[in-house]
Amino acid sequence: MHTTVEHALEATALDGAFAASDDTGPLAAGDHYTVPGFDSVAHLAAASLGVAMVALVLDSGSAYWYSRDAGPRAPHVLHPLYLEAARRGAGQVLPDIAADARYRDTPPLTGPSPTTLRFFACEPVFTLSGRHVGALCVMDHAPRSGLDEAGLAALRNAARLAGAGVVLGSYLGRTDPVTQLPHRSAFFEDLRSRHKNGAQRAWLIAIEVAPVERFNAFVRAMGFPYADELMRAVAARVLDWMPPRTNLYQVGVTRFAAVLPDGDKPLETTQLDALVARLRTPFDCLDIPLTLQPGIGLLDLDVRQLDGADPLRQVMSASYAAQRNPRGWALYERSQDERHQQEFFLVTELAAALTERTELYLHYQPRVRLSDGRCIAMEALARWRHPTLGEVPPGQFVPLAERAGLMRSLTGWVLDHGVAQLAAWRRAGCDVGLSLNISNADFDADLVTRLQDVATRYGVDPGTLELEFTETTLMAHNDATRRHLAAVRELGAGIAIDDFGTGYSNLASLRQMPATCLKIDQSFVRAMDASRHDAAIVRSTAALAHDLGFRVVVEGVETRRIYDAVRRMDCDEVQGYFVSRPLPAAAVPPWLERTAEWHQRDDEGGP
């Protein structure tokens, strides 16, 4: 069922819709009128009728005031007797309040006013459909003989304009300008009306058109006209699918929602699959095809518990999860929602930790050369000790930083603190390098500048630094990637391909990368002593890397047996718990001293 603009207007409720003064307080001079055009209507009425004050009084209790009187604005509150007259739905003219037995002892304003008001007139205000919503009132200090035909016509016209402003304000406050669909306020009114009509349950559906970052990419690449046309096209497809007697609402830039007509009966899975199929079918917007990644969320809501609940956020949590579901739709799950809330909390806390607090710190894991046992470098690893949650694992906060756009800030923090610590170690006589992990978000022309700036700031030779990129990060880029890497190499810093073997690199791309080191992923290393296939992968990868001119580092060396097996292969360096667990900065110099004679130990001793 198509939701029209006319329906959206007819369903409008005025209660609480306007941020204006009510009958207990004024709208101060210069305030923004939330009924569009009221200031112009008031000027017009005051000038054409020659009155001192104009008020738009709505049945909801809101009131808008305009006064031509000079000096400070006093609080204006219309007396209940005049409010009653204004709400009767018929015009009224009081030529001389002092001469009218009904009103002479009751001034129009209950609050302080500059002078006595003697003239009062009001005209009802209606919406376009004829619904009475209030009255336009005019007042003056001097009595009159009444209003002639021209004056009455001017007052009626001003009231009609005010009514149009009320409708427009309601429309603008409740209707999306792109799709012309009602939005959040109308959605919640629908829910509240279900509750008032005795419904106990309601099924809600939310449609997430595309991940926000992807939609923003649409806008950057194609512009807002394309994005607007896309949202209109999506709305049209959803409306064609909607069950009868169902209204569609736009509740976010890329989100739609609806209250399904039968609160006790969920949609059939075939219906949901059909909607997902519709939305996954490519859209042809402005002659440019586009395939979306939609998510459909469902929530079974107890409308008796609507107050204090947040059903829209809950059903949107389900639609967000559905985008990662192959089927494309998902029911709301409290545990999943709580996880999303926890992730949001962690993201905000991480942002604060990066800029305001001292919760982040670094640990350093040694990398040892097999030929002589010398420690070549320390890998800087970010750690987070939250004041109330305690230690937050890197496997939890690093992916969150990537999704939340915080990776550049996190990398910047690690660069600054890691290089500062390296400078301190080298001043103390520790001849060791530093490797730092770089994410996909850091991969741009600014990378070399950032690296050079931090090295200059702390007086560190860039040749003592090595940047680690994952295989996937490197291979996902293009010729610009190689230019950035070449600039890093020209600076003197090393380049390591991290977690090699888990991505999707090909030999042609690998050959063209100006890397200096290849780190074989620990997933192949930990089972080497039990799996001849994993051992063969490590051995052949090491041989290939050497043929391509890379230094080979084996990660995940956790036992003596694995260490001995790697040492018998054509590998250069090892890293893992058998060598050392990640160390706090203060523990690095003593560890270096203890392992300085590594090569003198016999085969049984180990590090």
Instruction: Report the distance separating Cα 341 and Cα 317, nearest Å.
Output: 9
Lowest mean pLDDT among 8-22, 65-79, 216-230, 387-401: 8-22
What are the tens digits of pLDDT across the range 286-308? 788 888 889 999 998 887 777 65
User: Which of the four pLDDT bands, split at 50, 70 and 90, describes residue 21?
Assistant: very low
**What's the DSSP call for residue 4?**
P
- Whether 585 shows a pLDDT value over 90: the answer reads yes
Q: What is the pLDDT of residue 307?
A: 66
What does DSSP say about strands 295-302 and 329-331: parallel, antiparallel, or unpaired? parallel
Lowest mean pLDDT among 275-279, 461-465, 504-508: 504-508
Two tokens at 502? 């888990």
Instruction: Report the distance separating Cα 45 and Cα 53, nearest Å.
Output: 9
Q: What is the pLDDT of residue 603?
A: 45
Listed ranges 104-113, 189-198, 199-208; the one with the highest mean pLDDT: 199-208
**What's the DSSP call for residue 32?**
P
**Which residue type occupies 69?**
D
- Whether 264 shows a pLDDT value over 70: the answer reads no
Tell me phi and psi for residue 288, to 5 degrees: -120, 115
Is there a common fold for 184-332 and 343-598?
A: no
What are the tens digits of pLDDT across the range 340-382? 788 888 988 999 999 877 899 999 999 999 988 899 999 999 9
User: Which of the four pLDDT bands, split at 50, 70 and 90, describes residue 112?
Assistant: low
Average pLDDT of the residues of the chain: 82
Where does 459-558 have alpha helices with state H? Answer: 471-475, 479-491, 507-512, 522-525, 532-547
E strands present in 313-463: 329-331, 360-369, 375-386, 390-392, 433-437
What does DSSP say about strands 21-22 and 53-58: parallel, antiparallel, or unpaired? unpaired
Q: Which residue has the higher pLDDT, 491 or 196?
A: 491
**Which residue type occupies 547?**
D
Residue 432 in contact with residue 424, Cβ under 8 Å? Answer: no
Contacts with 165 (C-beta within 8 Å, 6 or more apart), sequence order? 35, 36, 37, 38, 41
For domain 184-332, give the fold: Alpha-Beta Plaits (3.30.70)
| Alpha-carbon 253 to chain mean position | 11
What are the tens digits of pLDDT across the range 127-151? 877 878 889 999 999 999 989 999 9
Collapse the DSSP code of 57 into the 3-class scheme (helix H, G, I; strand E, B; otherwise coil) and give the result. Answer: strand
Superfamily of domain 5-174: GAF domain (3.30.450.40)
pTM value is 0.59
Q: What is the pLDDT of residue 121?
A: 94
Q: What is the pLDDT of residue 583?
A: 96
Q: Is 139 exposed, middle or buried (0-12, 13-18, 19+ CB in 10 A)?
A: buried
Q: Domain 343-598, CATH 3.40.50.920 — does that match?
A: no
Rounded to an integer, the average pLDDT of 103-118 is 77
Q: Which residue has the higher pLDDT, 175 or 364?
A: 364
- Whether 73 shows a pLDDT value over 60: the answer reads no
Domain map (residue ranges) of the chain: 5-174, 184-332, 343-598
Two tokens at 409? 């800030």
What does DSSP say about strands 329-331 and 119-126: parallel, antiparallel, or unpaired? unpaired
What are the tens digits of pLDDT across the range 407-459? 999 999 999 999 999 999 999 999 999 999 988 888 777 889 999 999 999 99
